[in-house]
Amino acid sequence: MATVETDTVTLSINDREVTVPKGMSLVEAAAEAGIEVPVFCYEPRLGAAVGACRMCLVEIEGIPKLQTACTTPVTDGMVVHSHSDRAREGQDAVLEFLLINHPLDCPICDKGGECPLQDLTFRYGPGSTRMTLPKRTHTKPVPISPLIKLDRERCILCYRCTRFSEDVSGDLQLVTEHRGANSIITTFEGRPYDGEFSGNVTELCPVGALTSISYRFRGRPWEIQNIPTVCGECPIGCNTYATIREGQVARVLSRNNPAVDDGWLCDRGRYTFPSLESEQRITTPLIRGGRGLEPVDGSTALDHIADRLRAAVERFGPGSVAIIASGDQTSEEAHLWARIQEQALGGGPIVCGPEGGAGWGELAAHSATIADLDDADLIVVAGATDLVHRAPILELRIRRAVDRGARVVTIGAGATRLDTLHAAEHVSAAPGTTHAALLAASQGVALKGLSDRSVILWNGRMSAPVATVLAHVAHASGCRVLPTPLAANELGCQAAGLGTHTPAEALEAVEQGRVKAVVLLGADPVGGWPGGDRWRGLMERAFFALQVSPFQTGSSGWATTIVPSPMPLEKEGTMTNIEGRVQRLRAAVPPPPGVLDGIVLAAELGRRLGLDMPDQPPAVFADMAGSRAAFAGLTWAGIGERGVRPEPASGSGQAPPAPHVAEGEPEGTIVVGYRQLMSGPTVEGAPALHFQRRSGIEISHDDAQQIGVATGDRVEVSFAGASLTGAALVQRRLRRGVVRLATAVPYVGPGELRAAPEETADA
- Residue 693's SS3 state is coil
Rounded least distance, CB 154 to other proteins, Å: 12
Q: Which is nearer to other proteins, 128 or 652 (CB)?
A: 128
Strands 239-245 and 248-254, bridge-based pairing = antiparallel
From CA 488, how far away is CA 481, in angstroms rounded?
18
What secondary structure letter does DSSP report for 513?
A: T
Distance from the Cα of residue 570 to its chain's centroid: 18
Q: Which of these ranges, 70-78, 375-383, 631-639, 687-695, lies near other proteins under the rule CB under 8 A?
A: 687-695
25, 68, 169, 187: residue in contact with other proteins (rule CB under 8 A): 187
Q: Which is nearer to other proteins, 185 or 441 (CB)?
A: 185
* C-beta atoms surrounding 76 within 10 Å: 12
From CA 59, how far away is CA 744, in angstroms rounded?
60
Asked whether position 375 contacts other proteins by CB under 8 A, the answer is no
Q: Which of these ranges, 101-109, 524-532, 558-566, 586-594, lies near other proteins under the rule CB under 8 A?
A: 101-109
134, 190, 708, 757: residue in contact with other proteins (rule CB under 8 A): 190
Rounded least distance, CB 506 to other proteins, Å: 30
- DSSP, residue by residue, 181-242: GG-EEEEGGG-----TTTTHHHHH-SSSSEEEGGGTTS--GGG-EEEEEE--SSTT--EEEE
16, 135, 693, 732: residue in contact with other proteins (rule CB under 8 A): 693
Rounded least distance, CB 109 to other proteins, Å: 9
Q: Which is nearer to other proteins, 148 or 467 (CB)?
A: 148
7, 62, 85, 107: residue in contact with other proteins (rule CB under 8 A): 107
Q: Which is nearer to other proteins, 177 or 294 (CB)?
A: 177
Asked if 407 contacts 425 with a C-beta cutoff of 8 angstroms, the reply is: yes
* C-beta atoms surrounding 245 within 10 Å: 15
Q: Which of these ranges, 25-33, 389-397, 565-573, 720-728, lies near other proteins under the rule CB under 8 A?
A: 720-728
* C-beta atoms surrounding 178 within 10 Å: 9
Q: Which is nearer to other proteins, 192 or 295 (CB)?
A: 192
Rounded least distance, CB 145 to other proteins, Å: 7
Task: Cis check for the bond before 134: say yes or no (omega within 30 of 0).
Answer: no
Distance set, CA 579 to CA 84, 238, 343, 477, 488 (Å)? 48, 12, 30, 20, 12
Distance set, CA 533 to CA 5, 47, 323 (Å)? 70, 50, 18
From CA 295, how far away is CA 282, in angstroms rounded?
10
- DSSP, residue by residue, 701-714: HHHHHHHT--TTSE
Rounded least distance, CB 745 to other proteins, Å: 14
Rounded least distance, CB 391 to other proteins, Å: 24
Q: Which is nearer to other proteins, 106 or 364 (CB)?
A: 106
Rounded least distance, CB 720 to other proteins, Å: 16
Count CA atoms closer than 13 A to 371's CA, side-chain side.
8
Size of site (CB under 8 A) for other proteins: 38
38, 51, 146, 353: residue in contact with other proteins (rule CB under 8 A): 146
Asked whether position 141 contacts other proteins by CB under 8 A, the answer is yes
Count CA atoms closer than 13 A to 572's CA, side-chain side.
13
140, 475, 642, 701: residue in contact with other proteins (rule CB under 8 A): 140
- Write the CB contacts of 684 (distance below 8 Å, at least 6 apart in sequence): 275, 278, 280, 551
Asked whether position 175 contacts other proteins by CB under 8 A, the answer is no
101, 186, 553, 679: residue in contact with other proteins (rule CB under 8 A): 186
Which amino acid is it at 713?
D
Asked whether position 216 contacts other proteins by CB under 8 A, the answer is yes
Q: Which is nearer to other proteins, 144 or 322 (CB)?
A: 144
Of how many residues is the chain composed? 763
Distance from the Cα of residue 666 to its chain's centroid: 32
Q: Which is nearer to other proteins, 103 or 295 (CB)?
A: 103
- Residue 690's SS3 state is helix
Asked whether position 751 contacts other proteins by CB under 8 A, the answer is no
Asked whether position 112 contacts other proteins by CB under 8 A, the answer is yes
144, 201, 242, 495: residue in contact with other proteins (rule CB under 8 A): 144
Q: Which of these ranges, 184-192, 305-313, 623-631, 648-656, lies near other proteins under the rule CB under 8 A?
A: 184-192
Asked whether position 691 contacts other proteins by CB under 8 A, the answer is yes
Q: Which of these ranges, 57-65, 136-144, 439-447, 509-517, lies near other proteins under the rule CB under 8 A?
A: 136-144
Site string for other proteins, 639-678 (x = CB under 8 A): ----------------------------------------
Q: Which of these ranges, 83-91, 318-326, 353-361, 694-702, lies near other proteins under the rule CB under 8 A?
A: 694-702
Rounded least distance, CB 151 to other proteins, Å: 9
Q: For 681-699, b where at least 16 C-beta lie within 10 A, e where not — what string? A: bbbbbbebbeebebebbbb
Rounded least distance, CB 401 to other proteins, Å: 33
142, 227, 619, 639: residue in contact with other proteins (rule CB under 8 A): 142
Asked whether position 220 contacts other proteins by CB under 8 A, the answer is yes
Q: Which is nearer to other proteins, 201 or 455 (CB)?
A: 201
Asked if 462 contacts 364 with a C-beta cutoff of 8 angstroms, the reply is: no
126, 725, 752, 754: residue in contact with other proteins (rule CB under 8 A): 725
2, 3, 134, 222: residue in contact with other proteins (rule CB under 8 A): 222
5, 61, 105, 277: residue in contact with other proteins (rule CB under 8 A): 105
- DSSP, residue by residue, 419-431: GGSTTEEEEE--T
Distance from the Cα of residue 471 to its chain's centroid: 25
Q: Which is nearer to other proteins, 83 or 245 (CB)?
A: 245
Q: Which is nearer to other proteins, 107 or 134 (CB)?
A: 107
Asked if 475 contacts 656 with a C-beta cutoff of 8 angstroms, the reply is: yes
Q: Which is nearer to other proteins, 119 or 511 (CB)?
A: 119
48, 79, 108, 464: residue in contact with other proteins (rule CB under 8 A): 108
Identify the H or E element spanning 121: helix 116-123
- Write the CB contacts of 246 (distance below 8 Å, at least 6 apart in sequence): none
Distance set, CA 180 to CA 152, 160, 190, 473 (Å)? 14, 17, 20, 54
Give the phi and the psi of residue 587 in degrees, each rounded to 5: -70, 115
Q: Which of these ranges, 135-143, 259-267, 330-338, 526-534, lies near other proteins under the rule CB under 8 A?
A: 135-143
Asked whether position 139 contacts other proteins by CB under 8 A, the answer is yes
Rounded least distance, CB 759 to other proteins, Å: 10
- Residue 418's SS3 state is helix
Q: Which of these ranges, 258-266, 331-339, 403-411, 691-699, lies near other proteins under the rule CB under 8 A?
A: 691-699
Using CA atoms in the order 69, 72, 76, 80, what is the torsion angle rounded to 10 degrees? -30
Asked if 499 contacts 333 with a C-beta cutoff of 8 angstroms, the reply is: no
What secondary structure letter does DSSP report for 23?
A: T
Q: Which is nearer to other proteins, 404 or 693 (CB)?
A: 693
Rounded least distance, CB 113 to other proteins, Å: 8
Residues 240-269 touching other proteins, rule: CB under 8 A, are 246
For the CA atoms of the chain, what is the radius of gyration?
A: 28
From CA 537, how far away is CA 539, in angstroms rounded?
5
Rounded least distance, CB 690 to other proteins, Å: 9
Asked if 753 contacts 715 with a C-beta cutoff of 8 angstroms, the reply is: yes
Residues paired with residue 729 on neighbouring β-strands, in sequence order: 698
Q: Which residues bind other proteins (CB under 8 A)?
A: 105-108, 112-113, 139-146, 150, 186-187, 190-192, 216-220, 222-223, 246, 691, 693, 695-697, 714, 724-727
